[in-house]
Amino acid sequence: MIFKSLKKNIEIEDSTFNMLYSTRIRRLSERHWTPVAIAKAAADYLVDKPNKKVLDIGAGAGKFCLVGAASTKGIFYGVEQRASLTKLSKKIAEKHQVENVEFIHSNITDISFSDYDAFYFYNSFFENIDTSCPIDKNIVPKNELFLSYSNYVRDQLHKTPKNTRLVTYWSTWEEIPESFDLEYSACDGVLNFWKKKS
Ligand SMILES: C[S@@+](CC[C@H](N)C(=O)[O-])C[C@H]1O[C@@H](n2cnc3c(N)ncnc32)[C@H](O)[C@@H]1O
């Protein structure tokens, strides 16, 4: 029902989408997972042509990728460092036959951005700085990881071709290279739409 509605562009409340998850994962939603309406807006911008390969940098419980895959003609790839979240995302995609999505258990530093066409980033590395609402205890936050992961992403994005699209949500902009132009902003400036200028 949820995925059928998304495919038909019928509005889905966050509380409805989050019923796909256990209570523990649902409780993390407000702080850690992209709201459905934001995911749709971001995915619409990133998939400007069918079959665009979109990488979610830190896919969490798969929410952005699942919404994007169901509501656009793109192919979504979610890279996530927590094995349990990758497993959960895969299970939901399989159960609901969402086919244009793939979840990869990996650290982002092992991923080459040259394999993808467009990118989504929801402040994934901030958990190393703000430890007030941890996802779990399996990843030990380290201040210095915020900068090293951001540097990796900035370097990879800088190497992407002209006109590459990027959407950031609640980002500090640390990971955005100067070669990207801000096209427009929404949600009081926390949702930003970028394009590589050169
Ligand atoms: C704020 S959540 C966003 C989840 C998802 N993109 C969404 O919008 O629903 C960030 C996720 O990034 C993951 N993450 C953080 N650092 C990472 C890294 N270096 N490599 C892969 N995943 C990472 C975290 O485990 C967390 O699940």
pLDDT averaged per 10 residues in sequence order, the chain, 198 residues:
95 97 97 98 98 98 98 98 98 98 98 98 97 94 97 98 98 97 98 96
Give the pLDDT of residue 130: 95
Give the pLDDT of residue 44: 98
Q: β-strands 165-169, 75-80: how paired?
A: unpaired
Give the pLDDT of residue 119: 99
Q: Give dist(CA 98, CA 6) in Å, integer.
A: 11
The response to whether residue 68 sits with its C-beta less than 6 Å from ligand 1 reads: no
Q: Give dist(CA 129, CA 144) in Å, integer.
A: 9
Give Cα separations from 134 to 1, 114, 149, 191 (angstroms).
Answer: 31, 31, 18, 22
SS3 83: helix
Q: Give dist(CA 57, CA 76) in Å, integer.
A: 11
The response to whether residue 117 sits with its C-beta less than 6 Å from ligand 1 reads: no
> Which of 124, 152, 156 has the most ligand 1 atoms within 8 A of CB, as the residue to mutate?
124
The ligand 1 atom at the shortest distance from the C-alpha of residue 121 is 6
Give the pLDDT of residue 198: 85
**What distance in angstroms lies between residue 15's CA and the mean position of ligand 1's atoms?**
21
The ligand 1 atom at the shortest distance from the C-alpha of residue 56 is 6
Q: Please, are residues 156 and 175 in contact by the beta-carbon 8 Å criterion?
A: no
Taking alpha carbons only, the member of 16, 14, 55 closest to residue 34 is 14
Q: Please, are residues 61 and 85 in contact by the beta-carbon 8 Å criterion?
A: yes
Taking alpha carbons only, the member of 94, 97, 61 closest to residue 78 is 61
Give the pLDDT of residue 77: 99
